[in-house]
Amino acid sequence: MPFRPSNLLYSAYERRLRAELNPARLPQHVAVMADGNRRWARRNAPGETLVAGYEAGATTLEEFVTWCDEVGIKIVTLWVLSPSNLDRPEEEVGPLLEVIVALVQSLARAKKWRVQIVGALEMLPDATAAALRAASATTEGNPGMHINVAVSYAGRQELRDAFRSLLAEEASRGATLEELSHTVEIDQISRHLYTAGQPDPDLIIRTSGEQRLSDFLIWQSAHSEFYFCEALWPDFRRVDFLRALRAFAQRERRFGR
């Protein structure tokens, strides 16, 4: 039989990794591409619907948020749905949206984090969008960690919306397109992103062995560090998270210089 480390060994390893972390070198903003839920369902729940994978993934997302809070991460961004996911069959999309709403409501009930929904909510069913907005609104006064939940989110779509917002704002001030073509600056565009006012992610984690950005935070990730993990998202453990933080702390960040 293959050797399988005991929970006691894992706990000891986790404690060692945690002790080795330098708080001064931890990321302030961590984003995660929680990939592999459907593959996990097919491997671990054959014969069941794919919702088993989404539910397992949501459980791991809640654990992930807690791990981030424990080590002092200030901002977390969770990508849970892209617009292309909405093109899947209704029998899959409906249960997925229910899982996402339940996740956001659970995070809101913790009453210690600010939960912000980022994405094109107008693409969602009205009831789903309303439930997400309502849950987010209950957290507005919470002083703790800031959690972005990216729902119906795509980076190019975010840039389109940012430019539309910027153009509308400048037009209301009487600016012409010719003037904007000479005066628009990077900071102006940043102020119209879904994540306006937030620092860009220092670390982006992607699971399931995929190594591509897939239209996630394409503006904000210009100087982000990436960490790719082979585990499918529902199998992502605290030890994997700590390894990602250790890898980040060991890198020399140059910010394009």
| Catalytic residue check, 148 | no
Q: Which of 69, 85, 215, 240 is catalytic?
A: 85
Q: By the 8 A CB rule, do 13 and 239 touch?
A: yes
Q: Which of 35, 200, 202, 235 is catalytic?
A: 35
Could you count the other beta carbons within 10 Å of the beta carbon of residue 84? 11
| Catalytic residue check, 142 | no
Active site residues: 35, 85
